[in-house]
Amino acid sequence: MGMNVFVTDCAAVTALGSNLEELWQGLMAGKTAIHPVQRFPVLNYRSRFAACIEGLSSAGRSSMTHDLLNRLVPQIRGVPTDAMLITATTKAGIDNLEKFKRGAAADRNDILLSSIPAALSETLALENIGFNISAACASSSIAVARAAALIRNKRADAVLVCCIDLVTEFVFSGFSALGALSARPAMPFDKDRNGLSLGEGAASILLMSETRCRREKRPVLGQLTGWGISGDAFHLTAPARDGGGLIRAIRKALAMAQIGVDEISTICAHGTGTIHNDSMELAAFHSIFGARKPSAYSVKGAIGHTLGAAGGIEVAIGVKSLSEKCIPPTVGLISPEEGARGLVSSQPQKIEGDYLLTTNSGFGGVNAAVILKRGQVS
């Protein structure tokens, strides 16, 4: 007893829903929040689509991160003041850098990655300021893994993970220059996919040790049983074609969870909709699971790629999927590519079993895998 890591609270804000339940209902209905961008001009870019949160704004000198955090924080329940804080963001208030470069008044501190844990620790009246993890699109998956490791190693008994990233013209122009954006809303694992759609959002996951969870009679929404992180260093922006780095991360997670591949009921894939990412993931899944094909899905055709917030949002969705015993459709999927047939679906699917695998990969060759278990206490 005491080595298990329990999920006691989850919250999320995305363009598809102002809370986790709205997001879940939108996903299950097959809706998408990817629409033409109104926030900044897009005529000179490869795409005109993104999943932007309606009405998100910056007040005075502040970044839009403050508005987004103000939407998330009231949903975070039961955080003890002595909880450790780990945040995840790749750009923080990068919109303020845009303001500054254009000569507008802007708080430079909001541009710093450290502004996110500083703001959250003050708002939540936490005893420690925490720290931020920035590891490209695997940032919040790694933050969740780090939090779980702290609990399992008895260095903490409660850790709050919060993740956030924005859609800004700076980010949009960068992905456009890389040729990564799709000219139409993203189509994960489809044979005709041609890029990703950006999105924005924030999420929180409160993790606790079994001992503290039982003592305080906390709800058990799920368990984190295994995680793995790897770096393949294949390319600055492209994934290793054979999926070797992701394979290593998944195998580490399975070994830590002490389960076999046949116990994984479903996969929440990174599934960005780019040609190389989706092919790499499929190669990794086929290497791990062989002829057996667990169901899989991607949410990025519905909420866009939320970058550093993606893993945290997907963990929250994964906990909900296990609780509801079903997974959402892969929005944007019309004709699965050959390797994805029998794996992903454009319709919701029922699932059995207790374990869900979620995967994320990012620039620089970073890969992360997290295994969730259904919420019952064993």
3-state secondary structure labels for all residues of the chain: CCCCEEEEEEEEEECCECCHHHHHHHHHCCCCCCEECCCCCCCCCCCCEEECCCCCCCCCCCCHHHHHHHHHHHHCCCCCCCCEEEEECCCCCHHHHHHHHCCCCCCHHHHCCCHHHHHHHHHCCCCCCCEEECECECHHHHHHHHHHHHHHCCCCCEEEEEEEECCCHHHHHHHHHCCCECCCCCCCCECCCCCECEECEEEEEEEEEHHHHHHCCCCCCEEEEEEEEEECCCCCCCCCCCCHHHHHHHHHHHHHHCCCHHHEEEEECCCCCCHHHHHHHHHHHHHHHCCCCCEEECCHHHHCECHHHHHHHHHHHHHHHHHHCEECCCCCCCCECHHHCCCCCCCCEECCCCEEEEEEEEHHHEEEEEEEEECCCC
> Is the Cα dihedral 255, 257, 258, 261 positive or negative?
negative
Q: Is 270 a catalytic residue?
A: yes
Q: Which has the closest alpha carbon to 353: 315, 305, 321, 307? A: 321
Which residues are CB-contacts of 255 (< 8 A; sequence separation ≥ 6)? Answer: 226, 228
Residue with tokens 């929440």, as numbered in its chain: 268
Select which of 10, 52, 137, 162 is catalytic: 137
Provide φ and ψ at 14, rounded to 5°: -140, 180
Which residues are CB-contacts of 58 (< 8 A; sequence separation ≥ 6)? Answer: 64, 66, 67, 95, 96, 99
Q: Which residues are catalytic?
A: 137, 270, 305
